[in-house]
Amino acid sequence: MAEQKSLHRKLSELSSNLWWSWQPEVSEIFRQLEPTRWSELMHNPVVLLKEYTEERLEQRATEMALHSRIHAAYRRWNKYMESAETWGQTHADLLAFKPVAYFSAEFGIHESLPIYSGGLGVLAGDHLKSSSDLGIPLVGVGLFYREGYFSQNIDDNGWQKEIYNENVISELPIKPACDKSGQQVEISVETRWGAIFARVWHIQVGRIPLYLLDTNVEKNSDEIRNLTSRLYGGDHRTRIRQEIVLGIGGVRALAKLGIEPSVIHLNEGHSAFAALDVIRQKMHDDGMSFNDALRETAAMSVFTTHTPVPAGHDRFGGDLINEHVGPLGDQLGLNYDGLMGLGRVNPQDHGEPFTMTVLAFKLSRHANAVSSLHGVVSRRMWASLWPWQSEDELPIGHITNGVHMGTWLAPQMRSIYDRVLPEKWYTRSGEPDTWAGVKNIIPSELWETHQTQKHRLIVYARSRLVKQAKRYGASQDEIDALSKVLDPFALLVGFARRFAPYKRADLLLRDLDVLAELITNTKQPVQFVFAGKSHPADDHGKAILQRIHRITQQEPFKGRIVLLEDYDINLGRHLVQGVDVWLNNPRRPLEASGTSGQKVILNGGLNCSILDGWWAEAFDGKNGFAIGSGRTHVNSDIQDDRDAEYLRNVLRNEVIPLYYDRDADDLPLEWINRMKRSIRTLGWRFNADRQVMDYVRHTYVPSAGGLSCKMP
Ligand SMILES: *Cc1c(COP(=O)(O)O)cnc(C)c1O
């Protein structure tokens, strides 16, 4: 029966579920339909298929011999969606009828859906995908940003320009989220001046539904219609309004959809108002007192704090809180001080603003940081919330982040693993035993595969550089030069992330003489590729970007240090699959986890990183490189100078010599050993499957259980 559907129908169905985005075979089918235009279509199959009638698709599929591949992909997808034999089936049974509701202000699932800015969003996307693969009953809740985050242009002066493109519903795999009567769900949140209305959209990510709220409805004033148009745009007022829609609106949307979550997982304080609305529901629906409802809500709430950087912790004054959360406070029977007290470390301190992170800690029984070191830092940072407890007894644990293998692993590397790892290793990639066979990988084969990937990255980088240069009217000579930059046989170091100042993208530039010496060494050259966006309001970050841009235009750095515009999931995938070394040099201990370095592991790249975030618990002396020893200094200038020197030293004394230490066949055997050790010791741990399994075992199941055994 399934076979009788037309090709067009099958591909449309496949394109309507983002499952395809982590199946290289399926994206390859779409690419084959339009090989030259697939990238300009932003890898968006919904747009691509709109251009095809059934007849034209049949004809094109015949030309490209795609029929059996389309049928096979469709069958595989159906099997995936129906499969009952999952890890979740045995380990998350308790959640079967009442799923986990995962709240986040951003979700980074695929480049064609730009509603993310960086690590937090990509982590959320990876969490949904692993939950889907493992069969965990979970739903995502977020906001639909009509203009998303921006695309980045860098002008010829090196200054970032933000370009906002509209996300058009009909061009996305998105549909109205409907209630039982078939109506699109709409919710409202009261404020002191009236209600904010939002409608709800549905995106399917494998087995996991993601619900996105959108205030662009006619009932709202123009100002409120634009409330959810941009991610992290606007001032405090915009921010608190977005957060009441996400949190309070999100909980109401689930109720209208008939979803009763057993656990609410708050990611960052952004969504913490959700817990307040769960309290309201319990008081209203079950007649509980405020205190009982609070206790039950806390028992079912999991809070993950994702950064120690102050900008990640929203603080609101009493006026903004009263204006936007006052009506909910009234329903909870809280006066102004009672409401404000929930967001203050010290409720009696009338000068203290309302901190979303504090609210989240107070309303959840399970709280965690995102790496072991970040756990220590968070306990220190928030110790004053539990003045009667000592620091190591504080109720903040940690679950270290991981990345979704299917999304980030290059298909060629996957073929190697298919040969040396046990059957169906793919479904058990978050377990250590699965990876024992890595020692059997033949060094030359690993190296050749890595070189192929690296070459692919270099070709891609050149084409993007040429495109960038043409936009600024570069001469033919310049374009010819750009189409030859980067040498596939020279050590290639990648650095890409948000240009938040603490990430210190310019650390390497602190001593230009040494840098020049390293990159002009003709026997053992090193080259760098940079990418990253700065927040639109962060001029400091933009200035760092500009410095790097200027260096890339100067001799002797020109052509040996390149800067690629518009870092996104697509560029990220190319980079992590092709670099030799991934550089990470944040100011310790500000990188809570970091995840981009985890994406290079299974692709054979080596990490060279400050001992911060995940790397502080990952590095064992032989599975990558450490910059310094983890020392910090209260004066950040001194710390930066010292780290810059450690960085130069590790490059000069360890990374470069090891890379160029070749045997008679020109193979860097010791380097390859490090690649294998990195894959074997780190691949399973810093993996989103392991991460999701940890959340299930240590937070979701206990929280859901806590609900079912009510206190008498
Ligand atoms: C993985 C990823 C990030 C997170 O990188 P960090 O190293 O954690 O800063 C940010 N942006 C994109 C596009 C990513 O793919």
Mean pLDDT to the nearest integer, 665-675:
98
Q: Which of the listed residues 22, 122, 565, 575 should we mutate to test ligand 1's pocket, taking the one with most ligand atoms within 8 A of CB?
A: 122
Q: Is the pTM of this model over 0.95?
A: yes
Q: Is the CB of 119 under 6 A from ligand 1?
A: yes
From 352, 360, 356, select the one nearest 242 (Cα to Cα): 356
Contact 133, 92 (CB under 8 A): no
Task: Give the Å distance between the CA of 596 and the centre of ligand 1.
Answer: 5
pLDDT at 708 over 90: no
DSSP-based three-state secondary structure for 583: strand
Using one digit for the tens of pLDDT, what is the confidence trace for 435-444?
999 999 999 9
Q: Is the CB of 501 under 6 A from ligand 1?
A: no
253-291 as b/e: b if 16+ CB within 10 A: bbbbbeeebbbbbbbbbbbbbbbbbbbbbbbeeeebeee
Nearest residue (CA) to ligand 1, atom 7: 596
Which atom, in ligand 1's list, is nearest to the CA of 573?
15
Using one digit for the tens of pLDDT, what is the confidence trace for 31-54?
999 999 999 999 999 999 999 999
Task: Give the Å distance between the CA of 601 and the centre of ligand 1.
Answer: 14
pLDDT at position 311: 86
pLDDT at 257 over 90: yes
Q: What letter represents residue 684's amino acid?
A: W
pLDDT at 710 over 90: no
Residue 3 — very low, low, confident or very high, per pLDDT cuts 50/70/90? low
Contact 417, 601 (CB under 8 A): no
pLDDT at position 93: 87
Identify the bridge partners of residue 101 per DSSP, sorted by sequence position.
139, 264
Rounded distance, CA 398 to CA 403, Å? 16
Q: How many of the other CB atoms lie within 10 Å of CB of 70?
A: 18
Rounded distance, CA 261 to CA 105, Å? 18
Mean pLDDT to the nearest integer, 80-108:
94
Which atom, in ligand 1's list, is nearest to the CA of 572?
15
- Indicate the angle between helix axes 7-15 and 24-33, nearest 10 degrees: 120
Q: How many of the other CB atoms lie within 10 Å of CB of 301?
A: 25
Nearest residue (CA) to ligand 1, atom 8: 594
Q: Which residue has the tokens 């959810």?
A: 228
pLDDT at 25 over 60: yes
Mean pLDDT to the nearest integer, 374-378:
97
Residue 317 — very low, low, confident or very high, per pLDDT cuts 50/70/90? very high
Nearest residue (CA) to ligand 1, atom 11: 118
Per the document, the length of the chain is: 712
Helices and strands per DSSP (H, E), number in the chain: 30, 20
Q: What is the CA radius of gyration of the chain?
A: 25
Which atom, in ligand 1's list, is nearest to the CA of 597?
7
DSSP-based three-state secondary structure for 342: coil
Q: Classify strands 526-531 and 491-496 as parallel, antiparallel or unpaired.
A: parallel
Q: What letter represents residue 455's amino acid?
A: H
Contact 617, 401 (CB under 8 A): no
Which atom, in ligand 1's list, is nearest to the CA of 584?
7
* Mean predicted lDDT score pLDDT of the chain: 96
pLDDT at 545 over 80: yes
Task: Give the Å distance between the CA of 352 and the centre of ligand 1.
Answer: 33
pLDDT at 214 over 60: yes
- Extended beta strands in 275-393, E state: 301-304, 315-316, 354-355, 366-369
DSSP-based three-state secondary structure for 190: strand
Which atom, in ligand 1's list, is nearest to the CA of 497?
9
Mean pLDDT to the nearest integer, 87-101:
92
H helices present in 66-115, as ranges:
67-82, 87-91
pLDDT at 141 over 50: yes
DSSP-based three-state secondary structure for 212: strand
Task: Give the Å distance between the CA of 117 and the centre of ligand 1.
Answer: 9
pLDDT at 351 over 50: yes
Task: Give the Å distance between the CA of 121 and the centre of ligand 1.
Answer: 9
Rounded distance, CA 350 to CA 233, Å? 29
pLDDT at 87 over 70: yes
Contact 313, 270 (CB under 8 A): no
Using one digit for the tens of pLDDT, what is the confidence trace for 100-134?
999 999 999 999 999 999 999 999 999 999 999 99
Nearest residue (CA) to ligand 1, atom 5: 596
Q: Which of the listed residues 112, 579, 595 should we mutate to test ligand 1's pocket, taking the one with most ligand atoms within 8 A of CB?
A: 595
Q: Is the CB of 568 under 6 A from ligand 1?
A: yes
Using one digit for the tens of pLDDT, what is the confidence trace for 51-62?
999 999 999 999
Which atom, in ligand 1's list, is nearest to the CA of 595?
8
Mean pLDDT to the nearest integer, 407-428:
96
Both structure tokens of 186: 């709409």
Rounded distance, CA 413 to CA 506, Å? 32
Q: Which of the listed residues 107, 117, 570, 596 should we mutate to test ligand 1's pocket, taking the one with most ligand atoms within 8 A of CB?
A: 596
Q: Is the CB of 574 under 6 A from ligand 1?
A: no
Mean pLDDT to the nearest integer, 297-319:
96
Higher pLDDT, 705 or 552: 552
